[in-house]
Amino acid sequence: MIDTIAALSTAQGPGAIGILRVSGSLVLPISLAVLEKNGTPLTESFIQNQKRSAIFCDFVEKGKPLDQIVFLYFPAPNSYTGEDLAEFHLHGNPILLKRALHVLLEKGARPADKGEFTKRAYLNGKINLSGAEAISRLIEARSKYELELAQKNVFGEITKLSSKIRSDLISLKAECEAEIDFSTEDLTFESLEERKNRMVALKNLCSKLIKDSERAESFILQSTVVLYGEPNTGKSSLMNVLIGKDRSIISDVPGTTRDYIAEELSLDGIPIRLVDTAGIRDTNDTIERMGIERSKREADSANVKLFLIDTSLPFEKKTFIEKHKDRLLGSLIVANKIDTKHPSWQMESVQDFKEEFQLTISEISCKTKQGIPELLELLKSKLTSKDDTEDLVLLEDRQRYHIQKIESCLSEAIQLMENGAPAEIYIQEINVALQEIGQVNGTVENEEILGRIFSKFCVGK
């Protein structure tokens, strides 16, 4: 008998609907013990006749209706877990859901561990290990790019690629074994050059997969964008505009921001850590000076630096260069306060200065919001030069480890061939590579490894 597990499958907190999921041998008896329709307990034959159909009924607690619900029953093996599975769709009140879950546990279920439903789906052959990891990534995706990459894996991109690698390895092994076993027969085998070329092509495929995954990670890793410059250039105002709320204090008094302030936001699916820094200036104030030093360190480690300048002040090229030359290089220049722009900023010398230092200058007004959409587009292009994730695939750390091992095995096999080793020697590297590719999709039997993988899931999935 398979023990029966139960858990809340929807997010914690109030909502229109809350779903309790139950899987295991006692799904049907537990369901019969808690469900009624028009005051009459549901029967097994009624539920069996309504399998995979929605049943509108009452969830009962100690003989009294607790809630009007929608009940769904999925008999094994045609369910997510491959076991008998039921879903109880209640109104999404947390107190109500907690009471209903307690009733299910009283009737014979036990609380599910993290990821246990998906683990059972894997153990029952409903999904492979790559598919399970893709589901976890899909649920936890923090940006549209990560979601796109996870969706590709849910629909089998990793499985397809690893299946090709496995097929090619088997073909290589078969050719090597045929040569070993029938070397004295009058048979024709592929040349060593042809075999080597096949190995090189397969090694290159593994290398490309690893590199593509590294590129894909750049889509989903949080980027740091630092706003820096002299006091009163509008850094805090821009911070507030970009995050859509008053996070930084705005004042005409220099040195108002004495330490950096960080906020997280998403720019069209790109996760960003936006940092407002203390205005850079010479000061005798010890606390402010410490804040300026910390701000400089933040700017040095940023993915993108937005250097703000105040266009309401006169522009004089020589003075400006002497003052800001070291800060301009590698920065995106944000010319703020263009609604009160000084006439000197209209002169041709500004354009000459821009071309001389190959600067990108974005003109904005935090007050009128002029130029903000253009700045956001420019920032997005700075953070990612890629248009989309269509040609990329994202490997989990575990998957990348095994692909790297395969790449290493193939490199060793190629080296052995080039050194004149017989097939009996380098076939061992192919055998190891075959073991490694099996780990990618799911011949993992180590319970500790499986536990580590599925512990990343939320309870109820």
Cβ neighbours for 259, distance < 8 A, ≥ 6 positions apart: 278, 290, 291, 294, 295
Measured CA to CA, the distance from residue 456 to residue 453 in angstroms comes to 6
Burial label for 46, CB within 10 Å (0-12, 13-18, 19+), is: middle
Q: Is 54 annotated as a binding residue?
A: no
Q: Is 251 annotated as a binding residue?
A: yes
Q: Is 81 annotated as a binding residue?
A: no
Q: What are the tokens at 140? A: 């936890």
Burial label for 352, CB within 10 Å (0-12, 13-18, 19+), is: exposed
Measured CA to CA, the distance from residue 332 to residue 239 in angstroms comes to 15
Q: Is 461 annotated as a binding residue?
A: yes
Q: Is 213 annotated as a binding residue?
A: no
Q: How far is CA 439 from CA 166, 199, 207, 315, 436, in A?
A: 11, 20, 18, 63, 5
DSSP sequence for 283-298: ---HHHHHHHHHHHHH
Measured CA to CA, the distance from residue 266 to residue 244 in angstroms comes to 12
Q: Is 420 annotated as a binding residue?
A: no
Q: Is 43 annotated as a binding residue?
A: no
Measured CA to CA, the distance from residue 244 to residue 239 in angstroms comes to 8
Q: Is 233 annotated as a binding residue?
A: yes
Residue ranges with strand state E in 62-167 = 64-74, 85-92, 110-111
End-to-end CA gap in the chain: 21
Q: Is 103 annotated as a binding residue?
A: no
Q: Is 226 annotated as a binding residue?
A: no
Residue ranges with strand state E in 131-260 = 223-229
Give, to the nearest 10 degrees, the angle between helix 397-418 and helix 192-220. Answer: 160
Q: Is 391 annotated as a binding residue?
A: no
DSSP sequence for 258-319: -S-EEEEEEETTEEEEEEE-PPP-----HHHHHHHHHHHHHHHT-SEEEEEEETTS---HHH
Q: Is 440 annotated as a binding residue?
A: no
Q: Is 144 annotated as a binding residue?
A: no
Measured torsion, CA atoms of residues 89, 90, 93, 98, in degrees rounded to the nearest 10? -90
Q: Is 23 annotated as a binding residue?
A: no
Q: Is 237 annotated as a binding residue?
A: yes
Q: Is 326 annotated as a binding residue?
A: no
Q: Is 441 annotated as a binding residue?
A: no
Measured CA to CA, the distance from residue 120 to residue 450 in angstroms comes to 11
Q: Is 286 annotated as a binding residue?
A: no
Q: Is 130 annotated as a binding residue?
A: no
Q: Is 381 annotated as a binding residue?
A: no
Measured CA to CA, the distance from residue 208 to residue 204 in angstroms comes to 6
Whether 460 contacts 111, CB under 8 Å: no
Annotated binding site for K(+): 232, 251, 253, 256
Annotated binding site for GTP: 232-237, 251-257, 276-279
Annotated binding site: 21, 87, 126, 232-237, 251-257, 276-279, 461
Annotated binding site for Mg(2+): 236, 257
Annotated binding site for (6S)-5-formyl-5,6,7,8-tetrahydrofolate: 21, 87, 126, 461
